[in-house]
């Protein structure tokens, strides 16, 4: 994954986005209309009430819109249980609902680069080869909760999906995090620059992103905490993902502490979660 490392690189990268960066993919047509028209089972509504705290806070018109997106998502994406996990409708619908929250009020492309979602029972081990140039230094085993790849696959730990979906106050949501990466990667790069609806908006996005990212880096180096998780100081891609988590899970605090960033995300997602939490 390419990570922009400086303000100048961020600004120069804007010119590489081109016209494709502001063009929305058209709906897949009749097939998606049929999927959207399917009745949404009451049993699914009930499990979302139980499992997804954000769903409980969401106004009814957004819930109804979300239902149609879930139908399309489940009709188009393949789910695969890994590590002995037997997938259930509860798992699929819980994951799909949180992913589709990121599509509300926007022309929905339904994560066009994504085809398969692999779900493990819990955190899983990944073998990582650490290299320096052409020299392999070590084989390391890393514990992962989720991953978003740009090869059409996304990986999740079900126990962490469930835990972070239930608690809307902790600022953590694994599905929102990994699917924010999917949005970021739609232009072929994971660099903190998702596709915006107007090309003119990229310059202000770059200014705000850079300033807020650098602020988080400074806080993290000092050992101080923020409403945005310290992991966001890793790079711009992770910053966008954890900022998305805070935007939906701690919108009141985020708006107060990071007003410019909150407004950028509000414009991007076409949603105002602060209003849900205040209602």
pLDDT tens readout for residues 148-173: 777 889 999 999 999 999 887 788 99
Domain annotation covers residue 58: yes
**Alpha helix positions (H), 52-190:** 53-57, 60-76, 89-101, 158-166, 174-184
* Average pLDDT for the chain: 86
- Residue 263: domain span: 7-278
pLDDT category, 144, cuts 50, 70, 90?
low
pTM value is: 0.85
Instruction: Answer whether residue 205 is part of any domain.
Output: yes
Structural Rg of the chain based on CA atoms? 19
| Most confident option among 15-29, 140-154, 186-200 | 186-200
CATH of residue 159: 3.40.390.10
- On whether the CB atoms of residues 152 and 77 are closer than 8 A, the answer is no
- What value does the mean pLDDT take over residues 51-60? 95
Higher pLDDT, 40 or 15: 40
Cα 105–chain centre separation: 16
Does residue 258 sit within a domain?
yes
The CA distance from 16 to 51, in Å, is: 41
Q: What is the mean pLDDT of residues 214-240?
A: 95
Number of domains within the chain: 1
Indicate whether 2 belongs to any domain.
no
- On whether residue 1 sits in a domain, the answer given is no
Average pLDDT over residues 28-49: 94
How far is the C-alpha of 60 from the C-alpha of 66, rounded, in Å?
10
Task: State yes or no: pLDDT of 205 exceeds 80.
Answer: yes
């Amino acid at each position: 994954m390419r990570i922009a490392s400086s303000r100048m690189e961020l600004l120069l990268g804007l010119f590489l986005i081109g016209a494709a960066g502001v063009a929305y993919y058209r709906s897949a047509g009749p097939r998606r209309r049929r999927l959207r028209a399917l009745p949404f089972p009451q049993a699914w509504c009930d499990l979302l009430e139980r499992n997804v705290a954000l769903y409980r806070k969401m106004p009814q018109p957004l819930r109804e819109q979300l239902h149609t997106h879930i139908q399309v998502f489940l009709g188009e994406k393949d789910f695969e249980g890994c590590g002995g996990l037997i997938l259930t409708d509860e798992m699929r619908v819980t994951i799909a609902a949180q992913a589709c929250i990121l599509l509300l009020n926007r022309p929905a492309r339904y994560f066009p680069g994504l085809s398969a979602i692999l779900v493990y029972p819990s955190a899983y081990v990944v073998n990582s080869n650490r290299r320096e140039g052409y020299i392999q230094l070590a084989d390391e085993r890393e514990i992962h909760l989720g991953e978003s790849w740009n090869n059409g696959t996304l990986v999740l730990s079900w126990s962490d999906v469930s835990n972070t979906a239930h608690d809307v106050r902790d600022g953590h949501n694994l599905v929102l995090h990994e699917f924010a990466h999917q949005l970021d990667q739609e232009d072929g790069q994971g660099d903190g620059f998702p596709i915006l609806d107007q090309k003119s908006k990229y310059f202000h996005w770059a200014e705000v992103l850079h300033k807020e990212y650098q602020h988080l880096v400074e806080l993290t180096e000092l050992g101080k905490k923020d409403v945005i998780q310290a992991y966001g100081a890793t790079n711009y891609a992770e910053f966008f993902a954890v900022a998305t988590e805070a935007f939906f899970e701690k919108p009141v605090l985020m708006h107060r502490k990071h007003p410019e960033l909150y407004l950028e995300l509000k414009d991007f997602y076409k949603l105002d979660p602060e209003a849900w939490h205040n209602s």
